[in-house]
Structure 1
Amino acid sequence: MKKCILILLVLTLFLSGCWDRRELNELSITMALGIDKVKNEYLVSAQVIVPSEVSMQASSGRSAVTLYQASGETVYEAFRKMTKDAPRKIYPGHLRILVISEELAKEGISESLDLLARDWELRSDFYVVIAKDLTASEVLNVTTPIESIPANKMFNALKTSERIWAATEGVILDDLLTNLTSDGKEAVLTGIKVIGDKELGSSKQNVESITPSTRIQYDHLGVFKEDRLVGWLTEDEGRGYSDITDTVEKTVTAISCPKGGKIAIEIFDFDSTIKGSINKGEPEVDIHIQAKGNVGEVQCSIDLTKPESMNEIQKIYEKEMKELIEQTINTVQSQYESDIFGFGEAIHRSNPKEWKEMKEHWDEKFANLTVHVHVEMKDLRIGTLNNSFLRKIED
Structure 2
Amino acid sequence: MKKKAWAFIFFVILTLGSSVAISKNVEDTLIKSISIVSAIGIDSSDEGYEVTLQMINTAAKPDSAGEVPGSIIYQQSGRTITQAVKNILNRNPKKIFFDSAELIVIGEQTARELGIHEILSLFLTESEVSSSIKIMVTKDFPASKILKTITPAEKVSSKRINDIVHSNELNLGSAASVYPVKVMNDILRNIKGTALPYVTLSSEKEIGSTQENISSPEPEVLLILNGMAYFKKDKLAGYLTRDESKTFLALTNSAKKTSIETKCGADDKGYFTLNLERSKTSIKPEYKSGFISFKVKRKVRGELLESTCMQDDLKQLESKAETFLKSEMASLIAKSKEENNDFLGFLKEVYLRNPYKFNEISKKWDKLYPETPVEVEVDLTIEDIGDVNRIP
User: Is TM > 0.5 for Structure 1 vs Structure 2?
Assistant: yes
Sort the Cα spacing of 1:85 and 1:60 in 2 relative to 1 into closer, same or farther, 3 A. farther
Task: Compute the displacement of 1:197 (Å).
Answer: 4.3
1:358 aligned partner: 361
**Letter of the 2:368 counterpart:** K
1:270 aligned partner: 279
* Identity fraction in percent: 24
Task: Compute the displacement of 1:300 (Å).
Answer: 2.5
Distance 1:374 1:255 in 2: 18
1:300 aligned partner: 309
Quick one: which of 257, 261, 264 aligns to 2:270?
Answer: 261
Contact 1:142 1:198 in 2 (8 A): no
Task: Compute the displacement of 1:164 (Å).
Answer: 1.8
**Letter of the 1:332 counterpart:** S
Q: Are 1:181 and 2:197 matched, yes or no?
A: no
Q: Are 1:99 and 2:108 matched, yes or no?
A: no
Sort the Cα spacing of 1:82 and 1:366 in 2 relative to 1 into closer, same or farther, 3 A. same
SS of match in other structure, 2:222 = strand
1:333 aligned partner: 337
1:286 aligned partner: 295
Sort the Cα spacing of 1:385 and 1:86 in 2 relative to 1 into closer, same or farther, 3 A. farther
Q: Residue deviations 1:21-52, cap 9 Å, x none?
A: x9433321111110000124200000000111
SS of match in other structure, 1:196 = coil
Q: Are 1:322 and 2:326 matched, yes or no?
A: yes
**Letter of the 2:277 counterpart:** F
Quick one: which of 13, 37, 43 aligns to 2:44?
Answer: 37
Q: Residue deviations 1:264-285, cap 9 Å, x none?
A: 0111211112222322222222
Q: Residue deviations 1:286-324, cap 9 Å, x none?
A: 22211111111112322x3xxxx1101101111110010
Distance 2:158 2:264 in 1: 41
Task: Compute the displacement of 1:257 (Å).
Answer: 0.7
**Letter of the 2:344 counterpart:** F
Distance 1:350 1:370 in 2: 18
Quick one: which of 70, 76, 98 aligns to 2:82?
Answer: 76
Alignment of 1:1-395 (within 5 A): 23-54=30-61, 61-107=67-113, 108-258=115-265, 259-302=268-311, 304=312, 309-335=313-339, 337-382=340-385, 385-386=388-389
Sort the Cα spacing of 1:383 and 1:29 in 2 relative to 1 into closer, same or farther, 3 A. farther
Task: Compute the displacement of 1:129 (Å).
Answer: 1.2
Contact 1:278 1:351 in 2 (8 A): no
Sort the Cα spacing of 1:275 and 1:115 in 2 relative to 1 into closer, same or farther, 3 A. same
Distance 1:223 1:187 in 2: 6
Distance 2:171 2:289 in 1: 41
**Letter of the 1:71 counterpart:** S
Distance 2:84 2:99 in 1: 17
Cα RMSD, aligned residues only: 2.0
Distance 2:62 2:262 in 1: 48
Distance 1:189 1:251 in 2: 18
Aligned length: 360
1:392 aligned partner: none
Sort the Cα spacing of 1:241 and 1:386 in 2 relative to 1 into closer, same or farther, 3 A. farther
Sort the Cα spacing of 1:143 and 1:357 in 2 relative to 1 into closer, same or farther, 3 A. same
Contact 2:296 2:376 in 1 (8 A): yes
**Letter of the 1:296 counterpart:** L
**Letter of the 1:289 counterpart:** R
**Letter of the 2:108 counterpart:** E
1:390 aligned partner: none
Structure 1 stretches lacking a partner, 5+ long = 1-21, 388-395
Task: Compute the displacement of 1:172 (Å).
Answer: 1.4
Distance 1:225 1:118 in 2: 23
Distance 2:260 2:290 in 1: 38
